[in-house]
Amino acid sequence: MELKSIDRTDRGKGRLNAALNIYRETILPEAQNPERQILYWIEHSKDDLTDEFRCFAIQRDNAVVGYLQYSYFREEHIFFFEYLCIRDAKRTGLVPSEAMKIIEDFLAQNYRPGFTIVFEVAQKRDASAQWKSDKKVVGYFKRIGFRKVDFDYRYPILQSYDGELSYPADLMVRLPEDRTDVTSSEMRTMLRCIYFKHYLRWDRPFLEPERFGERERLIDDLYSKEVAQIGGNDTFGTSGTAKGSKPGLFANRQPRIISLLERIFGPKLPRIIIVIVVLLGAQRMMGSTWSLVPFVLAVAALHCLAEDTETSRKLFVVILSRLRLGRQRSL
C-alpha cells in the first residue's frame, strides 16, 4: 500500500477520479465540499502559501482504495485531516491499519516532530432525528491511537446556506508527547485554524465579496460561540483506549534516500538515472573534463523534455540555445 500525491488535475486522471469516487460515496453529503472546489485547490496546492494543502490517493497493487486530504498550518504546527476515507474490496472494516502506517511514515519522515493532528467525525441523525456520535468511526480511530475531545464542537455548513448553519461533530486529536488533555490555549488555536485558516480561506476564491462577507460573519459567529465554552485555565479531557495508545506514533524518522530522490525528481527518476548513466559513459569515452559542462546542460534539457510542461519546454529552448552557442564558439 502506498500514498500517491495528487497535485495536478491534468495528469493521473484515472487515479484522481477513483479517489474522488471514494470520497463521494463515503462522506456524508452535508460534510462534502463541492468537487470543483477540491479540484481548484489541487491545482493551487503548489502556490506560495504560508500553509500547506495536500491530497493523496491511497493505492494497493495499483488500485485506488482511499483518499486523504489535509491542511498543515506551519506556524501552529497542526495538521487538520479534512478527509480520510477508504473503500477496499479486499478488506473489511474501516481504514486498514496498513493505510494508517503509510500515513504515519509519511508525516514522520517529512515534518518536524511534535505536531498535533486534529480532525472531525461528523455526527449522524438517529431514527428520532437526533444527532448522535458515529460510534463505529470514533471507536476505530480510538483503537489506532487518536482520542475524542470532551468538547461540544460544530462545523459550518459547506454547500449552501439552506437548513442549519452548522452541524455537530466529534473532535479527534493526536497530541504531542502522548498527552491526553487539551489546554484552553490549544483549543482556541485549533478552532481558529479550522474555522479561519481552513473553512474561510477555502471559500474565498468561490464567493463574490458580498457572499464572502456573509460567510465571514457566519464563521465569526460560530467561532465566538465555540470559544465562549472555554475558560482561561480550562483543560479538556480526551477519551481513548489503552490498547490504542502507541508511544512513538508519528515519531520523527529520517526519510529513505529513495524517497528524497523521488521528491526531488518526481516519478521520472528512473528515466533520469538511465540518461545520466548513458551520458556519463559518453563523457568517459571522450576523456575530457570540459565535457562535463555540456553533460550537465544535456541532462537538464532531457529532464525538461521528460517533464513536458510549458515552463520546462521554455527552459529546454534556452538550454538548447546555450548548447548551440557553445558549439559555434568552439568552431
CATH number at residue 90: 3.40.630.30
E-only strand ranges, the chain: 2-5, 52-60, 63-73, 78-86, 116-122, 124-125, 131-132, 147-149, 153-156, 166-174, 181-183, 235-239
- State whether 152 and 207 are in the same domain: yes
- What CA–CA distance (Å, rounded) separates 179 from 195? 24
Domain span including residue 41: 2-239
- The residue from 206, 239, 272 where one domain ends is 239
Query: Residue 39's pLDDT band (boundaries 50, 70, 90)?
Result: very high
Q: Are 241 and 141 in contact (CB under 8 A)?
A: no
Answer whether residue 59 is part of any domain.
yes
Question: Does residue 298 fall inside a structural domain?
Answer: yes
The residue count of the chain comes to 331
123 and 38 in one domain?
yes
The pLDDT score that the predictor gives to residue 328 is 47
State whether 156 and 50 are in the same domain: yes
Alpha helices in 114-268 (DSSP H): 135-143, 184-192, 201-203, 209-227, 257-265
Location of C-alpha cell 456573509: 214
Q: 290 in a domain, yes or no?
A: yes
Q: What is the DSSP letter of 289?
A: G
Residue with cell 525538461: 304
Residue predicted with more confidence, 278 or 163 = 278
Residues 16 and 61 placed together within one structural domain of the fold = yes
- 270 pLDDT band, cuts 50/70/90, is low
Tens digit of pLDDT for each residue in 306-327?
666 666 666 666 666 655 555 4
Same structural domain, 212 and 319? no
Same domain, 186 and 233: yes
Amino acid found at 182: V
Q: Are residues 194 and 298 in the same domain?
A: no
250-266 pLDDT tens trace: 555 555 445 545 555 55
* Res. 329 pLDDT band, cuts 50 70 90: very low
Q: How high is the pLDDT of residue 331?
A: 46
Which of 205, 239, 273 corresponds to the end of one domain?
Answer: 239
What 3-state DSSP class applies to 73?
strand
Q: Are residues 74 and 219 in the same domain?
A: yes
Find the mean pLDDT for residues 231-247.
Answer: 76
**Domain end: 172, 205, 239, which one?**
239
User: Do 272 and 127 share a domain, yes or no?
Assistant: no
> What pLDDT does residue 9 have?
85
Number of domains within the chain:
2
Query: Cα 271 to chain center, whole Å?
Result: 27
Most trustworthy range by pLDDT among 16-30, 66-80, 103-117: 66-80
DSSP 60: E
Kindly tell me the burial class for residue 251, based on how many C-beta atoms sit within 10 Å of its own C-beta (0-12, 13-18, 19 or more): exposed
pLDDT mean over 6-16: 87
> Is residue 272, in this structure, part of any structural domain at all?
yes
Residue 135 lies in a domain: yes
Task: State mean pLDDT over 110-115.
Answer: 90
Is the pLDDT confidence value at 76 over 80?
Answer: yes
Does one domain contain both 24 and 67? yes
Asked whether residue 245 is assigned to any structural domain, the reply reads no
pLDDT of 271 higher than 90: no
